[in-house]
Amino acid sequence: MIKVPSERGQLDLVRALPGDFAPRDAQDLMAYPFFSLSKSRRTRPIEFISGRVEIHVEAVPDHGMATIWDADILIWAASQIVEARDEGLRTSRLMAATPYEILTYIGRGTSVRDYHRLKAALDRLQSTTICTTIRQSAEGRRHRFSWINEWQERTDGAGRPDGIELVVPDWFYRAVLEDALILTIDPAYFDLTGGLERWLYRIVRKHGGRQKAGWRFEFRHLHRKSGSLSPFKRFAFELREIIRRQPLPGYWLSLERAPQGRVLLAFAPCGQTVNGIVPSGTRTLVPSGTVSSCFREPGLGLTSDAAGENRSPNLDSNTDSNLCRAQAIGDNVDSPAENLRKSNRRGAQTTTGSGDETSPQLPLDLGPEGRA
């Protein structure tokens, strides 16, 4: 009987690099709905189709779908791969690290409970399957994979625990290393506690990182792009609350009204933003130029723009995201007082609903202070 060699046996093992170098995120993972935004177990699939882009994400009942908190492990992996390449070191899809190295890099605690949560996150990443047409050479071709092909606990010669090994999929590895579709993110991202605000930061960072005039999306387009199970009214309510709190590091959010009553989320950099596409050469942490966020206590409610000028629609990039055509958006923005009155009326009419985003915590979720 012929013994088939395992994938692990065909890959070079690389150890995790030490240091607090800049965290990197893959642009494809930032732009599309790949993860559950809920702190409760999700088994309902994500199905997203836009033009030639198709994404299908499936979960198993035993573990549930990989969450946006679990994706921090992929941010760690992407950062390790890019840093090793920039240092002229060997890279591989087979990586070894201690739980302590992973947990401290992504801003988590290091208690026994945190170690168990890390293992649960690895199980969800391994059991969640993705089928997508993104970055396929021929139209209609699909690539199916899991976020982690396999993982195992390591022991030393004396049988003592010696960390973990994991294998990332080729689709992810190529996006990080060969295609260099990577953006640096603010380390303060790991302190964001809500699933929706974490997802929103990644969307904003992906589309607004180098747009001096800002960017804007329709609320309904964002709802579809998020993959959230929350009803649209609940989703819109939570977006307005995020705009009020201004928690995203490096970006200012505002609410705008376009013709025909369309509601838009507008965002623009505040302070000094992180760099744009960073294929190599970034050695240190890259803050967004603000201590925590761009929070400014609103005076009379939400306005269209902090400075009051009319910003141009996003007509020059990414047709999938370009929902605001060349219309006089600035001429149709409500006054601050009118925004407040309408916001109060909408708040009184909006029910809290029972969306997944309000469910209890599960493994690898963040606690009230932003730590596990």
**What DSSP line would sit under 174-210, residue for residue?**
IIIIIS--EEE--GGGGG---HHHHHHHHHHHHHHTT
Cα–Cα separations (whole angstroms), residue 97 to 146, 162, 270: 20, 8, 36
**How does pLDDT run across 5-46, given as a tens digit for each residue?**
566 668 999 999 998 899 999 999 999 999 999 989 999 999
Burial 79-107 (b: 16+ CB within 10 A, else e): bbbbbbbeeeeebbbbbbbbbebbbebbb
Same domain, 175 and 191: no
The yes-or-no verdict on residue 198 having pLDDT over 80 is yes
| Residues 351, 354: Cα–Cα separation, whole Å | 9
131: in domain: yes
327: confidence class by pLDDT, cuts 50, 70, 90: very low
94: β partners: 13, 167
For residues 279-295, average pLDDT = 42
Same domain, 164 and 232: no
Same domain, 75 and 166: yes
Same domain, 237 and 92: no
Same domain, 177 and 226: no
Same domain, 264 and 195: yes
The single-letter code of the amino acid at 92 is S
The yes-or-no verdict on residue 293 having pLDDT over 70 is no
The yes-or-no verdict on residue 207 having pLDDT over 60 is yes
Query: Quick one: pLDDT at residue 5?
Result: 58
Same domain, 222 and 318: yes
90: in domain: yes
Q: Tell which of 163, 184, 205 closes a domain.
A: 184
Query: Quick one: pLDDT at residue 283?
Result: 39
| Residues 66, 69: Cα–Cα separation, whole Å | 8
User: Which percentage of the chain shows pLDDT scores above 70?
Assistant: 68
Domain that holds residue 301: 187-354
Q: Which residue has the higher pLDDT, 343 or 49?
A: 49
369: in domain: no
**Tokens read off for 366:** 């963040």
**Tokens read off for 359:** 């469910």
Same domain, 206 and 137: no
DSSP output for 38-76: -SS---SPEEEEETTEEEEEE--TTT-PPBTTTHHHHHH
367: in domain: no
Calculate Rg over the CA atoms of the chain: 21
Cα–Cα separations (whole angstroms), residue 343 to 201, 244, 337: 23, 11, 10
Query: Quick one: pLDDT at residue 364?
Result: 40
The yes-or-no verdict on residue 98 having pLDDT over 90 is yes
For residues 302-307, average pLDDT = 40
Same domain, 198 and 340: yes
What is the pTM assigned to this prediction?
A: 0.74
359: in domain: no
Looking at 2-16, 112-126, 265-279, 325-339, which range is the least confident one?
325-339
